[in-house]
Amino acid sequence: MTGPPITYRGCVYPSECDHMNHLNVAAYVNKFDQATWNFFTDLGLTREFLDSNGTGLAAVQQNIAYQRALRPGDVLTIRSTLIELAGKRIRFRHEMTNGATGDVEAVAELLALCIDTGSRKSRAFPEDLVSRVQMQTGGTNP
């Protein structure tokens, strides 16, 4: 399958499930969070880049649509897409699919802000990063 890059691949463990033997909400959030950091690294938002630019990232909104229940032993894949990188905002989307069936299991859309770690206030993303991402994706809003 071609499409957005894979940013997470893993499996559902029994310890991640709720009383109905489905992947619990906290585990969905954790898997999407792991995908986020892989996605950010692909964009150049590495720990080294953030530290050297006095930059942090603050999640301000996350919307998850649960479409099917995952159970212990299910293998899943998350693919991530940039929606917007402009000013101090980055919006992106994760799509979680079942590795065996290809069915979409959940979709998360997130908004984060660029933060100046010294002042603890939002600020624009460094221009060199924005330019690099635009070259990677073919524009500001892919």
pLDDT score of 1? 53
pLDDT score of 39? 97
- pLDDT tens for residues 93-140? 999 999 999 999 999 999 999 999 999 999 999 998 999 898 887 764
Question: How would DSSP label each residue in the chain?
Answer: --SSPEEEEEE--GGGB-TTSSB-HHHHHHHHHHHHHHHHHHHT--HHHHHHTTEEEEEEEEEEEE-S---TT-EEEEEEEEEEEETTEEEEEEEEEETTT--EEEEEEEEEEEEETTTTEE-PPPHHHHHHHHHHHTSS--
